[in-house]
Amino acid sequence: MHLLRKILWPFSLLYGLVVFLRNLSYDLGWRSVKSFQTPTICVGNLSLGGTGKTPMIEWLIRNLSAYDQIAVLSRGYKRKSSGFIVAGSNSSALEIGDEPFQIHRKFPEVKVAVDGNRRRGISNLETDLQPDVILLDDAYQHRRVKADFYILLTSYSKLYPSDHYLPAGTLRDSKNQAKRAKIIVVTKCPADLNEASRGSIQKKLKPSKDQEVLFCTLSYSAKLVGETKECSLDELSNNSVTVVTGIASPEPLLQYLHGFGLKTRHIKFRDHHQFKAAELSELSKEKMIITTEKDYVRGLNQLPQVYFLEVQHRFLADGKQRMLQALKGLKR
């Protein structure tokens, strides 16, 4: 791995230079940045995937009770459509992307839209739907829009200060762009992370005096959900199951299942993998499959023996109260 990183290092330097110049052009005002009348909250990261952006969007939906109408805007990664689309009753993961479809499926009262052009997407939402607040999913690098509130996520196992630019590392943005965040959330922490460890991480992140650093852990449900039935993980203790994932970081899910004594055979696909008919046919031979909600809505729900586990962020210590307090000043 170290040898490969050395080989890739020159390419990372070139990538980093391009990122630096791009950010500089926005920071110095050489490129235009637009703000909008509707309050906007941006959730994103500096790296490629695996920090829990979708669960954070869902946490915000559950906790932004001050707003009557919430809208979510995403680019709809790997969707088979283009332009601005608002999710409707006939929408699918192929049309709007797996993560927006998951949100739409779970929160039908929320207006979910996709558009690779965030400026156009926000303008259309304001004109057509007039939401009270817009949540921008994975828009930290979309500098043409200036959000009112930035939430930056970084994974406990791969903090951005210790990461490197692509392709030697997973950083897609400069570490100094963390300065734009109002809140930095360290995700996927151990549930028992103590105060001393949190303090050590905070020193590595070096937040400014205007930034807050919060910590959260992944909280998986103990209930398995299928298309027509449910069951408890306790009922499967010591049994063997097949786990199918197409996400960036499946390790927390596997660790959680092992905690129930399950023996797992893991079939791993790339992040955002679209399941093909031949793959579904092969997977149909498995006795029981456990997967993520994101993979479930991408086609695995076509198999009757597939169940998913819902996952949520749970803040440690007083993180929830501090997040809500910080968001209070957003409403106009």
Q: Tell me, what CATH number does 157's domain have? A: 3.40.50.300
pLDDT for the residue numbered 332: 55
pLDDT for the residue numbered 50: 83
In a domain, 245, yes or no: yes
Kindly state whether residues 98 and 211 are assigned to the same domain: yes
- Residues 267 and 314: beta-carbon distance below 8 Å: no
CATH number assigned to the domain comprising residue 233: 3.40.50
Task: Work out how many domains the chain is built from and give that number.
Answer: 2
CA distance 112 to 137: 10
Kindly state whether residues 209 and 283 are assigned to the same domain: no
Kindly state whether residues 185 and 240 are assigned to the same domain: no
- Both structure tokens of 6: 């050395």
Q: What are phi and psi of 208, to 5 degrees?
A: -75, 170
Kindly state whether residues 34 and 165 are assigned to the same domain: yes
In a domain, 14, yes or no: no
Cα–Cα distances in angstroms (integers) from residue 184 to residues 53, 117, 224, 325, in the given order: 12, 25, 31, 14
- Detail the DSSP E strand segments found in 38-95: 40-45, 70-74, 85-86
- Both structure tokens of 227: 């298309």
Residue 61 CA to chain centroid, in angstroms?
14
Kindly state whether residues 153 and 273 are assigned to the same domain: no
- Detail the DSSP E strand segments found in the chain: 40-45, 70-74, 85-86, 111-114, 133-137, 149-155, 183-187, 212-225, 230-232, 240-245, 263-268, 289-292, 306-315
- Residues 248 and 48: beta-carbon distance below 8 Å: yes
In a domain, 2, yes or no: no
Kindly state whether residues 125 and 240 are assigned to the same domain: no
CA distance 158 to 186: 10
pTM as predicted: 0.94
Kindly state whether residues 158 and 41 are assigned to the same domain: yes
In a domain, 46, yes or no: yes
CA distance 47 to 28: 24
CA distance 226 to 230: 6
- Residues 138 and 75: beta-carbon distance below 8 Å: yes
Dihedral sign, CA of 9, 10, 13, 14? negative
Kindly state whether residues 237 and 95 are assigned to the same domain: no
Kindly state whether residues 214 and 228 are assigned to the same domain: no
Domain extent, residue 272, equals 220-312
In a domain, 21, yes or no: no
Kindly state whether residues 109 and 247 are assigned to the same domain: no
Kindly state whether residues 134 and 260 are assigned to the same domain: no
CA distance 250 to 246: 8
In a domain, 302, yes or no: yes
Kindly state whether residues 198 and 69 are assigned to the same domain: yes
In a domain, 12, yes or no: no
CA distance 49 to 249: 8
Per-10-residue mean pLDDT of the chain, 332 residues long, equals 81 96 96 96 93 96 92 94 96 94 96 97 97 96 96 96 94 96 97 96 96 97 91 89 92 92 94 92 95 93 94 96 90 58
- Both structure tokens of 259: 């905690």
- Give residues with Cβ within 8 angstroms of 243, minimum separation 6: 250, 253, 254, 257, 264, 265, 266, 267, 289, 290, 291
Cα–Cα distances in angstroms (integers) from residue 108 to residues 100, 204, 231, in the given order: 11, 40, 24
In a domain, 22, yes or no: no
